[in-house]
Structure 1
Amino acid sequence: MMALLCLMSACLVAAIGISAAKHWRAQAVIVAWRFDESLKAVRAQKPVPPSSNVVPAGQDSSSQLSMLVAEVAARLRAGMPTAEAWMRAWDRVGSAHLGSWEGIAEDGVPRSVARLARAPSWRDVRRDVLGLVRQRDALSWRHLVSSCGRLRRRSTVSERVSRRSAHTLSVACRLTQELGTPLAEVLDIVADSIDEAAAAEDARAIARSGPLTSARILTALPVAGIALGQLIGANPLERFCDGGIGTISAIIGTVCLIVGRLVSTRMITRTIDISEGVDPATMCDLTIAGMNAGASVPSIVRTLGRVGNDAELERIGSELVLGARWGDAWNPHPANAALLADVLEPAWSDGTSPVPLLTRAARQVRARRIAHAKSEAERLAVRLVIPLGALLLPSFIALGVVPILLHIGTNTFGGLW
Structure 2
Amino acid sequence: MAMRGVPLVGGPVEFRGALDLETTRVGVMPRRLPAWTKDQYQDPSVYGVTLMPSGVRLVFRTDARSLEFEVLTSTGQLDGDPHPRPPGMLELLVDGALAGRRRAPVGNVLRMAGPGAEQRLIPGEPGTVRFVGLQAGMKNVELWLPQQTPTELVALRADGEVLAPLADGRRNWVHYGSSISQCIEADGPTGTWPVVAAALGGVEVINLSQAGNALLDPYVARTIRDMPADLISLKVGINIASLCAFRLRTFGPAVHGFLDTIRDGHPDVPLLLISPVSCPALEEVPGPTSMGPDGRVTALGDPADVAGGALSLTVVRAELARIVAARRASDPHLHHLDGLELLGPDEADDLADGLHPTAAAYRRMGKRFAAHAFASDGPFR
With the length of structure 1 as denominator, give the TM-score of the two structures: 0.25
Question: Which structure's CA Rg is the greater one?
Answer: 1
The TM-score normalised by the length of structure 2 is 0.26
Structure with greater strand percent: 2
Between structures 1 and 2, the one with greater helix share: 1
